[in-house]
Structure 1
């Protein structure tokens, strides 16, 4: 199969393949992996399946943008600020989940402050975070090799926000290592990272929303990313609410605010993107010449 045929096949069958992959991942891993022991049956198995499905939705959601950039050989219409925020946010989120899932010290410290209850981080959270930061870096790399619009660059606001976030984390970690203070602990350092991730989630979509607004187009920003993110956000919130309800322990939300906040925030902005794509700028997308351009196919 030639490259042209491969691209055409992906465009025609990508949706079906993606849905099949998500369902296979959700039910396959949901039944084959150990269900969470602190959730009563059968809710532990349901929670496991939901967790793997939203993991698959969110994980797959990164790849349509990568494919679109590659196919167009262009990142015009994609906010660079969004990508930079994504790298910082998911890096913090990955460190947070890895520590909570694998570090016995962190797990014991968490139990000490939450009446002996275990934290809500599961293995799918860890794999999602690692995958997310890897693909975010790949997507940002694409902006260095593909065509950009004139003036398309990282804004000073984004640059300094990221610098402040990294600097604050570095200082807090140094104080945690060098001092013996009840405030500067590993657990509090991880919570700082989670709050940086939550802050990033609150602001990272704004540059893309504004870019779509100024262009009156959503071309260059794939709607499949939005729809998959929207689905994953609802499932993520549903899983953690169900877990809290059946265990009568709402610390799953208060103790892991970044996970719940991430789901709520992504759903809110996804609704904005859906309105922009299907209602506000739908006619502009259809009539724009950018919609028909495919430098990769032309090159082939």
Structure 2
């Protein structure tokens, strides 16, 4: 999303490229809804890691700041062209801004569900609080550093770096939580399947363009983005392995009495869980 399209040599490949691109965009956008729906149906967020939510909200908020600033600000666009050349296209499109805004909204709705639904004894960890506080404090410091010299392009690059870091670490708490509980109950697999589809379609889109242009610069020219996408796909596959192979039928009782701090699975055969599968 948001990258300049090169001239095409093959119309079929161009059509395929666009199909893959829109499939990725729609998959990633829709991927936020299964978790929201699951929480609503269960009236519980037990099993959904709160550290993941906080880190994810930080990631998407930072990315929204980056996208919206570069897309709407003539000053930032001028600084971008001065640095990279006036022949270069701004690497943010309207759909990038729309996606980021939508992601922030849906993540905020999920956080609101944490406040109104049963959450057991789950809470945000001190580690997550420390990381998030340090990230936003650093961002504030960068604002004051950029202000005197009007280094706005550098400043928004800081927010882009934040979203990269958050993307790298955000899934770790949920993966550990699933492992310690021996269950994926409360964590929507629909979210993961759609995210994986989006990631695969994104790579397929890049491959189509590379084949048509006879160059693989899409992959090695932006190695950071390529590796970041691989990290997301790795965690998607890990969650699928946990859900379908490791813990296919294990459930945790979704009750305020559940002590997830102790990470002990509660499997009471005499009182089976009534919660629905993720």
TM-score by length of 1: 0.75
Contact 1:51 1:235 in 2 (8 A): yes
What residue in structure 1 maps to residue 113 of structure 2?
Answer: 142
Quote the Cα distance in structure 2 between the aligned partners of 1:190 and 1:129.
15
Quote the Cα distance in structure 2 between the aligned partners of 1:99 and 1:248.
31
**Would the alpha carbon gap of residues 199 and 125 (structure 1) be closer, same or farther in structure 2, given more than 3 Å must change?**
same
What residue in structure 1 maps to residue 33 of structure 2?
Answer: 63
What residue in structure 2 maps to residue 274 of structure 1?
Answer: 240
Contact 1:75 1:148 in 2 (8 A): yes
What residue in structure 1 maps to residue 7 of structure 2?
Answer: 40
Of 79, 82, 85, the residue aligned with 2:55 is 85
The total of aligned residue pairs comes to: 253
Quote the Cα distance in structure 1 between the aligned partners of 2:69 and 2:242.
38
Contact 1:82 1:204 in 2 (8 A): yes
What residue in structure 2 maps to residue 113 of structure 1?
Answer: 83
Unaligned runs of 5+ in 1: 1-34, 295-300
What residue in structure 2 maps to residue 94 of structure 1?
Answer: 64
Contact 2:192 2:236 in 1 (8 A): yes
Contact 2:55 2:170 in 1 (8 A): yes
**Would the alpha carbon gap of residues 83 and 273 (structure 1) be closer, same or farther in structure 2, given more than 3 Å must change?**
same
**Higher helix fraction: Structure 1 or Structure 2?**
1
Contact 1:62 1:136 in 2 (8 A): yes
Quote the Cα distance in structure 2 between the aligned partners of 1:103 and 1:247.
35
What residue in structure 2 maps to residue 212 of structure 1?
Answer: 178
**Would the alpha carbon gap of residues 200 and 37 (structure 1) be closer, same or farther in structure 2, given more than 3 Å must change?**
closer
Contact 2:16 2:208 in 1 (8 A): no
Unaligned runs of 5+ in 2: 253-266
Q: Deviations over 1:9-61 (max 9, x none)?
A: xxxxxxxxxxxxxxxxxxxxxxxxxx987422446654443332212101111
Contact 1:79 1:208 in 2 (8 A): yes
* Larger RCO (CA within 8 A; separation ≥ 6): 2
